[in-house]
Structure formats: C-alpha cells, structure tokens
Amino acid sequence: MGKTAAITIDRMVTEDLDQVLVIENASFTMPWSRNLFLSEFRNKPVSLMLVALAEGAAREVMGYVVCWVFVDELHVLDLATRPDVRRSGIARQLVIAALAMGYSWGARKAFLEVRESNRPAFKLYASLGFAQTQIREEYYDQPIENAVVMMLSTDRFRALLSASVEGWKM
C-alpha cells in the first residue's frame, strides 16, 4: 500500500457541495450537477455520502464517495479525490469507510461500474477485492465507452473490513 494521508472521514453536508463540485468538475466529462447531489441528500434511507477532510480547523474536502445501500447491496455511484492529493490513499480510505458503514446498514455485497479505460479506478477497486463480472457495451457517453461491472463478494467484503478496520467485528 502507498502512503496514507492523514484525513478524517465524515458524512457529507450541503455546505461541502461547493468544494465537492470543484472536484467533480475536474474529474469527470459528465459531472454530477448540484441538483443531483442535493437529491441524494433527500434520498435519506438509501444514500450514503462521505467526505474526506484534511486535518485542521477548516472543513477542507479532499475527496468524497456517494453510494446507495438497499437490502444487502451497496452500489458505489460516485467517487473522486482532489487532483493535487491523488495517490495518497484517500480514495482507498473513503471506499473502506463507505463499505464499513454500508455493512452496518445491512450490505453484504458491493457493486460498481467503471469506464474500461479508467485504469486508476479499476486498480483501486481490484486492490480492495472487487472482481470484474461483466461488460456493459457502450454504457457511457462523452466519450462512448464500455463499462466494466465489478463486484465485491460477501467473503471479500468481510475479509477487507477485518483487515482494514481496527476492532472490526462481524
């Protein structure tokens, strides 16, 4: 594992959105709008939104993740870290925190889609135990591209949390 930035992870609040949108716009060709994030805040029983905050007094957002949890499934919908702090373990910490919270809500498997060309994200997810399950042809726009569907099995979900969350108990 590479170096790990000292961050704290917290639930996203609407006051974080200005910073989140700067990261979102710098990260995706089809970024989520403010309204889409706001609709997630209203989707309370399902939506799990976390931010990684720099250590210090001000609320400085370094990255975020948005997931849905329904029944026993967690779906990662959006994940990005600030371009100037990438490769310091922030996305890894965000995804593990979301999985730990999702597990406590009942999730036992996790799913996501990633652009076929997005090697950084694919490698991140693979390093956490997600495995490729299928390809969705021409799923994305701008540019048109296949999606790789990845799944974290229940066994790998538990193994990851046992290995990465201090004091984790099933």
**Of 10, 19, 21, 27, which one interacts with ligand COA (CB under 6 A)?**
27
Q: Segment near ligand COA (CB under 6 A), from 83-91, 98-106, 133-141, 152-160?
A: 83-91
Q: Which is nearer to ligand COA, 9 or 79 (CB)?
A: 79
**Of 12, 20, 91, 96, which one interacts with ligand COA (CB under 6 A)?**
91
Binding of residue 124 to ligand COA (CB under 6 A): yes
**Of 90, 99, 150, 160, which one interacts with ligand COA (CB under 6 A)?**
90
Q: Which is nearer to ligand COA, 6 or 170 (CB)?
A: 6
Rounded to the nearest 10 degrees, how much is the dihedral formed by the CA atoms of 40, 79, 170, 70? 30
> What own/partner pairs with CB < 8 Å and gap ≥ 24 does 126-132 have?
126/150, 127/92, 128/92, 128/95, 128/96, 128/152, 128/160, 129/153, 129/156, 129/157, 129/159, 129/160, 130/156, 131/156
**Of 14, 120, 138, 163, which one interacts with ligand COA (CB under 6 A)?**
120
How many other C-beta atoms are found inside a 10 Å radius of the C-beta of residue 62? 25
Binding of residue 143 to ligand COA (CB under 6 A): no
Residues that bind ligand COA (CB under 6 A): 1-2, 27, 63, 79-81, 86-92, 114, 118-121, 123-124, 127
